[in-house]
Structure formats: C-alpha cells, structure tokens
Amino acid sequence: MTAPENDEQFTVVRNEEEQYSVWWSDRTLPAGWFDAGFTGTRQECLDHIDRVWIDMRPASLRRFMTANRAA
C-alpha cells in the first residue's frame, strides 16, 4: 500500500515542533502543519528534508535544553 513512485506532487510540511514530513500538494494541509516552501515528487521532497532537517529533536525539547544550559 506504499504509494507507487509516480508524478504525484507533494509539499514539504512542518509542524510547531519543527518536525518535517510530506503531504499531497492537491490536498488541504492537516491542522497544525505548515507549508515549508518546497514542492516536488515525494522523493524530491524527502531529499529536501534530508538537507534541511538538521537538528531532529522536537523544538520544545531543543528550547528546554537551551534554556537549562543557560541557567
């Protein structure tokens, strides 16, 4: 049931925890997810995510760690 590789268009999306995923370009984005500014085939989107998602910790954890280190 994995989507076959075809020319379906996807968008790179991101939530408030700055976690990335992909969503179909022709469908409404689920609530709490935002267009991260990249569109292409599924594989192109995943390749893009490989380049941009550097720190994979959820944003809330990242902020907590920074705050506590500073303290």
Note the residues at the interface with other proteins (CB under 8 A): 1-4, 13, 15-17, 19-24, 26-27, 29-33, 42, 45-47, 49-50, 52-53, 56-58, 60-61, 64-65, 68
CB of residue 56 vs other proteins: minimum separation in angstroms?
Answer: 6
Cα dist from 16 to 6, 36, 43, 69, whole Å: 30, 11, 23, 22
Q: How far is the CB of 37 from other proteins (least distance, A)?
A: 15
Please identify, using beta-carbon distances, which residue of 37 and 61 lies nearer to other proteins. 61
Q: Can you tell me the distance from the alpha carbon of 42 to that of 60, in angstroms, rounded to the nearest whole number?
A: 27
Q: For the CB of residue 38, give the shortest distance to other proteins in the complex, in Å.
A: 12
Determine the Cα–Cα distance for residues 33 and 26; give it in Å rounded to an integer: 15
